């Protein structure tokens, strides 16, 4: 079942421990499901209850702690020894009298780490305020420090095996986008278009299947294209509607996101102009991508390109992506925006989505790219244009 | 766009304020996306960045705070006045130097609440430790208290309008389950079965479309049926495989979950016996459901029924369900388990899923039910049995 070799898992763990060591951390608590998967392979939809990995700098293996009924998923999907899979009983689940972090704190004490420097992912999904309050109360002699994104920053450079998964995801993304564009027409319900897209995302290709994406397809239409994170309704499309499709392909939890805009009928001059401005900006930006350029330098190329046409955009134009779980396929590390001095390196992967939303409509055209040894590789295979139906 | 009348939203808000008043809270910060939707209608896939509602006991309307690009979604989907939709700039997003809770704390101060009793949902998804640390640092004179599940406990009794949505969701769940069972056969890939299920979940029925579910379909097969929260692979089913399908229908964010077990080929005696034990237990339990019985009394009926056949089950057998967002369609309030003294009342809705997982296989047969004025209404419409293919 393991998606990567034991050697690869072992390298990842070593990098995490090196980073812990540099920062003086004895223990790292990991709740981000993507980070749990990255280090152990753990893969189940069980992140709706409290679960975590404990990485101790002086222990060979991380410890998985989760709900009793999910221990078998940990045995099936991880490389961990059974002794390091430690379940809590079901009465801890969503209880008003007991909290799973009490169990975790007791285990940390048993392992002799009650006085240690303990890092946790303070701003990660699923590491709640209550987790923090219980742990600090139960371990008053430990020193707690913030370990947010420690593992995420290691994830930013992908191995070749990871890149091969992301390329499969890109193939699924391209197919799913084509299926969506084909399905859109005046009189068709939004939900029926999304049903076709999701069918394609999950069935994948003849040679490999798709996984669930960390974000569902986003398909605002008409004036709702000004609101980029709306999902869908059962309304019917009508002549004159712009429709934005943002989706991803996913293969074994690795994502390749993609956005395109469709127009039903003859596009207005405004939409055509906005699309041209975005396409020019995307092309100018793709031309300069190579190892050594920083995220903010890249964004500035885009910014200058659209400024020539009298446009500006406040929000970031992209972010690092790859392995992930709901609710986000972004990695929360490098962003393509002013102030981000991250230097692009080979096998970084970004979703560049320089969308522009005006008051009554918006246009999105995005690409997921890999930084190569000398330049850039765009992963999806679909025309970069306004699709007219 | 509003899914409910203004009168209904206003009743919900009044109940929340009454509960705040009883508990001496001046301000309640709400990050659970389901609770945000419940009080305002807000509905967008934007919960991957920090966002929240501020309910102040002495202000008529809650305040929505979120990312700039999501303010238009708040304008489109909520009943809030535009002045109460307050966006933060994009440089707060996943930044290492600024945190959205700094913005929230400043606003709370501007509203004159820097010395107030401020409740937050300490153990809710998306209320991170970092949120808590920043807020308490920025508002040192406020008294912070735990408001976890305050709104959830109000959600536990549904209005008739909510029940009508859940019934639509149940119709979608039944259709999706039938589509899944039909699709399963030896030689078919797991991902292709799920693709069909998800197509049905989203296209819904001819008269209404489906929404995304808070949990993707869970379909462990073979020995993996012992691990209930595994998703799917692109492996092919084979003769002799048991397959568990757990899914939900969703209509405008309201869920009706459902589980069934399928056997490919002639079921073993062990699987047939386990199914019989579960069916007997489910039927015995459904017979006694009526207003006035407690959750733990209900669970005891199940427990006694399976004990007669020599079985026991450690984990809870059900939970309150309804309005929700990823990662969970459970409401985190009442559970059907020992110690839960919640009294069943009309228009409560539970997913009763008394699955049993043994070492090498498991069986799940579930029902979502509504408590009526005099008894129970089972919402899905599909045979309760082991499906043999």
* A123 contacts B130? CB cut-off 8 A: yes
Contacts of B204 in chain A (CB under 8 A): 191, 234
What pLDDT, on a 0 to 100 scale, did the predictor assign at position B83?
98
**Interatomic CA distance for residues B126 and B33, integer angstroms:** 9
Per-residue model confidence (pLDDT) at position B1: 79
Mean pLDDT value across chain B = 96
Interval B228-233 mean pLDDT: 94
A&B contacts, CB < 8 Å: 226
**Model confidence at B355: pLDDT above 90:** no
The pTM of the whole model exceeds 0.90: yes
Which chain A residues are closer than 8 Å to B91 by Cβ? Answer: 337-339
Contact A45 B216 (CB under 8 A): yes
Q: In the predicted model, is pLDDT for residue B359 greater than 80?
A: no
Q: Which residues of B touch A231 (CB under 8 A)?
A: 43-45, 211-212
CB contact under 8 A, A357 and B48: no
Q: What is the pLDDT of residue A326?
A: 98
Contact A45 B315 (CB under 8 A): no
Segment B356-383 mean pLDDT: 93
User: Which chain A residue lies closest to B132 (C-alpha atoms)?
Assistant: A129
Chain A residues touching residue B44 (CB < 8 angstroms): 227, 229-231
CA distance B121 to chain A (A): 8
Reported as a pLDDT band with limits 50, 70 and 90, residue B290 is very high
Would you state the structure tokens that stand for residue B157, as one six-digit string? 């009794």
Fold annotation for B168-388: Creatine Amidinohydrolase (3.90.230)
Q: Of the candidates A386, A389, A361, A387, which has an alpha carbon nearest to the alpha carbon of residue A225?
A: A361
State the architecture of B6-155 in CATH terms: 3-Layer(aba) Sandwich (3.40)
pLDDT value of position B19: 98
* Contact between residue A209 and residue A229 where contact means Cβ atoms under 8 Å apart: no
**What is the average pLDDT value for chain A, to the nearest integer?**
96
Is residue A377's pLDDT more than 90? yes
Residue B93 to residue A315, Cβ atoms within 8 A: yes
Summarize pLDDT for B57-66 with one digit per residue, the tens: 999 999 999 9
Give the model's pLDDT for residue A44: 97
Banded pLDDT at A119 (limits 50, 70, 90): very high
CA distance A339 to A349: 19
**Considering chain A, what percentage of its residues have pLDDT values greater than 90?**
94
So what's the pLDDT on residue A351?
Answer: 98
Work out the pLDDT band at A357, boundaries 50, 70, 90: confident
CB–CB of A43 and B194 under 8 A? no
**What is the average pLDDT across A294-298?**
98
SS (H, E, C) chain A: CCCCCHHHHHHHHHHHHHHHHHCCCCEEEECCHHHHHHHHCCCCCCCCCCCEEEEECCCCCCEEEEEHHHHHHHHHHCCCCHHHEEEECHHHCCCCCCCHHHHHHHHHHHCCCCCCEEEECCCCCCCEHHHHHHHHHHCCCCEEEECCCHHHHHHCECCHHHHHHHHHHHHHHHHHHHHHHHHCCCCCEHHHHHHHHHHHHHHCCCCCCCCCCCCCCECCEHHHHHCCCCCCCCCECCCCCEEEEEEEEEECCEEEEEEEEEECCCCCHHHHHHHHHHHHHHHHHHHHCCCCCEHHHHHHHHHHHHHCCCCCCCCCCEEEECECCCCCCEEEEEECCCCCCCECCCCEEEEECCCEECCCCEECCCEEEEECCCCEEECCCCCCCCEEC
Please work out, in degrees rounded to the nearest 5, the angle formed at the alpha carbon of residue B358 by the alpha carbons of B354 and B359.
155
**Residue B94 is nearest to which of A93, A208, A332, comparing CB atoms?**
A332
Residue among B76, B124, B229 whose CB faces A70 most closely: B229
* Chain A nearest-CA residue for B232: A211
Nearest to B315 among A69, A234, A314 (CB): A69
Q: Is the pLDDT of residue B137 over 80?
A: yes
B224 Cα to chain A: minimum distance (Å): 8
pLDDT in tens, A19-72: 999 999 999 999 999 999 999 999 999 999 999 999 999 999 999 999 999 999
Return the CATH class of domain A160-388: alpha beta
Q: According to the model, what pLDDT value does residue B224 have?
A: 86
Of all residues in chain B, the one with the smallest CA distance to A120 is: B129
What's the pLDDT score for residue B370?
98
Q: What is the pLDDT of residues A257-289, one digit of tens each?
A: 999 999 999 999 999 999 999 999 999 999 999
pLDDT for A96 equals: 82
Give the integer Cα–Cα distance in Å for A190 and A192: 5
CB contact under 8 A, B128 and A127: yes
Q: Which residues of B touch A216 (CB under 8 A)?
A: 45, 212
In the sheet that holds B143-146, the strands lie side by side as B85-88, B63-67, B52-56, B27-30, B117-120, B143-146
Q: Is the pLDDT of residue B101 over 90?
A: yes
Is residue B5's pLDDT more than 90? yes
Cβ–Cβ below 8 Å for A191 and B204: yes
CB contact under 8 A, A234 and B209: yes
Contact yes or no for A126 and B125 at CB 8 A: yes
Given a cut of 80, whether residue B317 has pLDDT beyond it is yes
| pLDDT of residue B241 exceeding 90 | yes
Which chain B positions have a beta carbon within 8 Å of A209's beta carbon? Answer: 189-192, 232-234
Q: Where are the domains of chain A?
A: 6-155, 160-388
Reduced to 3 states (helix: H, G, I; strand: E, B; else coil), residue B266 is coil
Judged against a pLDDT cut of 80, whether residue B316 lies above it is answered with: yes
Distance between CA atoms of residues B338 and A362, nearest Å:
53
CB–CB of B124 and A122 under 8 A?
A: no
pLDDT digits 0-9 by tens, B105-122: 999 999 999 999 999 999
Residues of A in contact with B69 (CB under 8 A): 228-229, 315, 357
Residue B357 pLDDT grade (very low, low, confident, very high; cuts 50, 70, 90) = confident
The pLDDT confidence band at residue B358, using thresholds 50, 70 and 90, is: confident
Q: In this predicted model, what pLDDT tens digit does every residue of A120-157 receive, in sequence order?
A: 999 999 999 999 999 999 999 999 999 999 999 999 99
State residue B361's pLDDT score. Answer: 83
Q: Do A195 and B202 touch (CB under 8 A)?
A: yes
Question: In this complex, do B130 and A148 lie within 8 Å of one another by their Cβ atoms?
Answer: yes
Check pLDDT > 80 for residue A359.
Answer: no
């Amino acid at each position: 079942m393991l998606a990567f070799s034991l050697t690869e898992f072992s390298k990842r763990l070593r990098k995490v421990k090196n980073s812990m060591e540099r920062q003086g951390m004895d223990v790292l608590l990991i709740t981000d499901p993507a980070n749990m998967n990255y280090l152990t392979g753990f893969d189940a939809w069980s992140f709706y209850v409290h679960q975590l990995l404990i990485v101790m700098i002086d222990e060979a293996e991380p410890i998985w702690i989760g709900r009793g009924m999910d221990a078998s998923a940990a045995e099936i999907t991880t490389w961990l020894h059974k002794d390091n899979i430690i379940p809590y009983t079901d009465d801890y689940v969503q209880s008003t009298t007991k909290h799973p972090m009490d169990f975790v704190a007791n285990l940390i004490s048993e392992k002799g780490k009650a006085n240690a420097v303990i890092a946790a992912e303070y701003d990660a999904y699923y590491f709640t305020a209550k987790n923090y309050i219980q742990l600090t109360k139960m371990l008053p002699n430990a020193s707690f420090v913030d370990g947010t994104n420690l593992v995420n920053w290691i994830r930013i450079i992908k191995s070749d095996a990871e890149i091969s998964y992301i390329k499969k995801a890109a193939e699924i993304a391209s197919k799913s986008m084509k299926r969506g564009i084909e399905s859109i027409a005046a009189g068709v319900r939004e939900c029926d278009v999304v049903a076709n897209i999701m069918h394609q995302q999950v069935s994948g290709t003849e040679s490999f299947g798709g996984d669930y994406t960390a974000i569902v397809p986003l398909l605002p239409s008409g004036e709702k294209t000004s609101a980029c994170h709306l999902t869908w309704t059962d309304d019917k499309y009508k002549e004159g509607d712009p429709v934005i499709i943002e989706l991803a392909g996913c293969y074994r939890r690795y994502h390749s996101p993609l956005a395109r805009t469709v127009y039903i009928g003859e596009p207005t001059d405004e939409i055509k102009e906005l699309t041209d401005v975005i396409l020019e900006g995307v092309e100018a930006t793709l031309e300069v991508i190579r190892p050594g350029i920083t995220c903010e330098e890249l964004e500035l190329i885009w910014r200058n390109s659209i400024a020539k046409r009298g446009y500006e955009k406040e929000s970031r134009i992209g972010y690092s992506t790859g392995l992930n779980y709901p609710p986000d396929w972004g990695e929360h590390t490098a962003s393509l925006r002013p102030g981000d001095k991250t230097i692009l390196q080979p096998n970084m992967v970004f979703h560049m989505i320089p969308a522009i939303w005006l008051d009554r409509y918006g246009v999105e055209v995005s690409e997921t790219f890999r930084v190569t040894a000398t330049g850039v590789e765009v992963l999806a295979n679909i025309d970069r244009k306004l699709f007219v139906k």
